[in-house]
Amino acid sequence: MPWATEYDLKQAILKVKLPKEPGQQLPLIPPPIAYRSLKDMPPMDASANFRYGQQQLWQVRESRYSVADIITLFGVPIR
């Protein structure tokens, strides 16, 4: 606990300035996300859809097992 005593914690909480009017508070539910229409996407046939899916899988697999290109040991780069 970053405060030495419970009294210090209570004093720190009392010093926090919170808005008293409900209009100044943040909304509990975030505003809705603006969804894009599927019509705005480029048309794809079955083979393009397959290639796109494989590309997504490949990117996930590569990012999961990626290793830095240059590894330093005591400040000396090892290639």
Using one digit for the tens of pLDDT, what is the confidence trace for 23-62?
666 667 767 777 777 777 778 899 999 999 999 999 888 8
Nearest-angstrom CA–CA distance, 36 and 55: 22
pLDDT at 41: 75
What does the DSSP assignment read for 18-45?
Answer: ---SGGGSPPSSPPPP-PPPGGGSPP--
* Cα torsion angle, 54, 56, 60, 63, sign: positive
Domain positions in the chain are: 44-79
Nearest-angstrom CA–CA distance, 16 and 74: 45
16-28 mean pLDDT = 68
Does the pTM of the predicted model rise above 0.85? no
